[in-house]
Amino acid sequence: MGKQAIGQPNPDAGWRWVSERGLRVVTGDTTLPRYLSLVSQNLPEIEDLIPADDSILLILHRGAPMSSALRAALAAPLADAATQTGPLHEIAVEYGGAAGPDLPGLARRAGISVADCIERHAATDYTVAFLGFQPGFPYLRGLPDALCAPRRATPRVRVAAGSVAIGGAYCGIYPADGPGGWHLIGRSAVTPLFDPARAAPALLMPGDRVRFVPA
């Protein structure tokens, strides 16, 4: 494929091969702009792009070399990409109660009332940074600092689909029932976040915006 040996880093470009077709690009705080930039260029050798917390995994088509265009894209300035935004999704949430049992504790931790906690959470427009954990699970940036909280010391065995939760500096929505260690603050009745039968299985994609509306 005309590339460096597998696993050897390219310190100048900030990337390294992690498999025959996988290229891990360290992006830090620029993950989303870099992802949007690469998506917009539709480079033919790229089969898939998977953004994460501080990196992007590029999967190349089998046998495809790393082109000069891709090398240039990884080194290009991000001023234009940073202005791109995705569609806005307004999602109704039932805050507190059985749907959000951790909300009172988060409010106490922040030194505010439950009503203030809800108001602050719903007053923010969030951006989908990346997907992970479960298929279609959105990691949302934009959480007010006062509401940030480390994961629960003891994860729950079952979290209901649609639950809105806080973990660290992120907010998220559980697409399916399953275990989870984030703080539950409410539940949404949003259209399934992940449906493999849809043309685009994930409802929320990196770069999309989310606004929560108290039900």
Domain 9-83 matching CATH 3.30.1360.40: the answer reads: yes
**pLDDT score for 75:** 84
- Report yes or no: 117 and 103 within 8 Å, Cβ to Cβ: yes
pLDDT in tens, 35-85: 888 998 999 999 999 998 889 999 999 999 889 999 888 888 876 544 557
pLDDT at residue 170 greater than cutoff 50: yes
pLDDT in tens, 110-163: 999 999 999 999 999 999 999 998 999 999 999 999 999 999 999 999 999 999
In order of 16, 85, 90, the CA distances from 3 in angstroms are 10, 33, 44
List the one residue out of 104, 67, 91, 114 whose CA is nearest residue 183.
Answer: 104
Asked, colleague to colleague, whether 9-83 and 88-214 share their fold, the answer is no
The three-class DSSP label of residue 39 is helix
Residues in the chain: 215
pTM of the model: 0.82
Domain residue extents for the chain: 9-83, 88-214
pLDDT in tens, 180-200: 999 999 999 877 999 999 988
Domain 88-214 matching CATH 3.40.50.300: the answer reads: no
10 pLDDT band (50/70/90 cuts)?
low
What is the number of alpha carbons within 13 Å of residue 123 lying toward its C-beta?
8
In order of 1, 8, 37, 128, the CA distances from 213 in angstroms are 50, 47, 30, 17
> What's the CA gap between 183 and 138, in Å, rounded?
15
